[in-house]
Structure formats: C-alpha cells, structure tokens
Amino acid sequence: MYDFSADPGLSKAERYRELESAARALTDGEPDPVANMANLAALLWEFLPDLNWAGFYRMVEGELVLGPFMGRPACIRIPLGRGVCGTAAQSGETQLVEEVHAFPGHIACDAASRSELVVPVVREGEVVAVIDLDSPSPARFDREDAAGIERLAQVVANRI
Ligand code: SME
C-alpha cells in the first residue's frame, strides 16, 4: 500500500516539497505515461486543499486532449489558444486566473470553478501537456502555487 498523504499542519512550501518528493517516488522507473499521470492527478488531489478538479490535458496532433484527472467529467478536446488551458499550451506560459468568469473564452467544465492554475509541461522545448488545477474559491492560487506546480512539471516532464 502506498501512503502518500499531506499533514494538514504543513506550510504551503513544505506541502509542495512533499508533493514533489512523492511524485518522484511514485513515478520513478515507471515508463507508462497514463499510469504516471493518473497517480500524479491523485497526488495533486491529496496534497492540495480546496480543489474541484486536478489533472492533465495532453498535446495530441496539435490540440489538447483530456488526460487522467480527479474531479467531474470534463471537456475532451481544447483547441490551442482557447480557454485557460489552450492559452497556456499555445503561449508556453503559466496561466494564473483569480476569477475564471473574467477570463475571456474560459471553458466552464464545472460551474463551481472560480479560479484556475494551468502550467505547461515542456519536454525538449515542446509543450507536451498541461497540468490544470481548478478551485471553487476565487483567487485560490498565488505565485507560490504557480512556482510549486512549475517545479512539479519539470520533474514529471520525462515521465508522462
Ligand atoms: N477551464 C478550462 C477547461 C478545462 S476544465 O477546467 C477541467 C479552460 O478554460 O481551459
């Protein structure tokens, strides 16, 4: 049995360090990208409070296609440049959205979502996926969350 769980008393910085080390341990030596993305989605869900969606969209033939996630069923295909995920994938830049209703073209998969963090996963200079986190709370994510997920994206880029 795996026992990767976050102590509720951890600071945000400690939480991201523990998440990163759990992610390394759980994906180490495992070449299957679906298995790794599935476990990483579960770890994000376990370690980060106040989420209603956590998972992956993968770049497949020039568009984003839904990957492993935790949360409600979501839209399957997102063209580059559309919504928060498509913007992150096209620009290669993290999107930190405090209020999704104010983001032009936001794609509402779960009406409960209020804020969102999307981080591109880059391998050999190419965006191969994005990590998408949604929260029912406005302004749930800050620069520290963005930096934590950006580090995670670097760690897992060769494992997904
Ligand atoms: N809201 C995202 C779509 C994906 S769902 O949040 C899971 C967007 O605008 O790209």
- Per-residue pLDDT of 123-144, as tens digits, reads 999 999 999 999 999 999 999 9
pLDDT of residue 104: 87
Tokens of 53: 């969606």
* Pocket flag, ligand 1, residue 84 (CB < 6 Å): yes
* Pocket flag, ligand 1, residue 106 (CB < 6 Å): yes
pLDDT of residue 6: 80
Q: Average of pLDDT values for 28-53?
A: 97
* Structural domain includes residue 63: yes
pTM for this prediction: 0.95
CA distance 116 to 95: 8
CA distance 75 to 98: 21
The residue count of the chain comes to 160
* Structural domain includes residue 2: no
* Structural domain includes residue 1: no
* Structural domain includes residue 6: no
**CATH number for the domain that contains residue 106:** 3.30.450.40
Q: Is the predicted pLDDT of residue 1 greater than 80, yes or no? A: no
pLDDT of residue 116: 97
Q: Which of 78, 80, 87 to mutate to test the pocket of ligand 1 (most atoms within 8 A of CB)?
A: 78
Number of domain units in the chain: 1
Q: Is the predicted pLDDT of residue 3 greater than 80, yes or no? A: no
For 91, other C-beta atoms within 10 Å of its C-beta total 13
Give the domain extent around 96. Answer: 12-156
Span from the CA of 18 to the centroid of ligand 1 (angstroms): 26
State CA 90 to chain mean position distance: 16
Tokens of 122: 């880059």
Number of Cα atoms under 13 Å in the Cβ half of residue 49: 8
* Structural domain includes residue 4: no
Q: Whose CA is nearest to atom 3 of ligand 1?
A: 107
The residue assigned the tokens 């033939």 is 61
User: How are the residues of the chain apportioned to helix, strand and coil, as percentages rounded to the nearest 5?
Assistant: 35, 25, 40
Span from the CA of 1 to the centroid of ligand 1 (angstroms): 32
pLDDT of residue 7: 81
pLDDT digits (tens, 9 = 90+) for 44-91: 999 999 999 999 999 999 999 999 999 999 999 999 999 999 999 999
pLDDT digits (tens, 9 = 90+) for 101-126: 999 888 988 889 999 999 999 999 99
Q: Whose CA is nearest to atom 2 of ligand 1?
A: 107
* Structural domain includes residue 3: no
* Pocket flag, ligand 1, residue 145 (CB < 6 Å): no
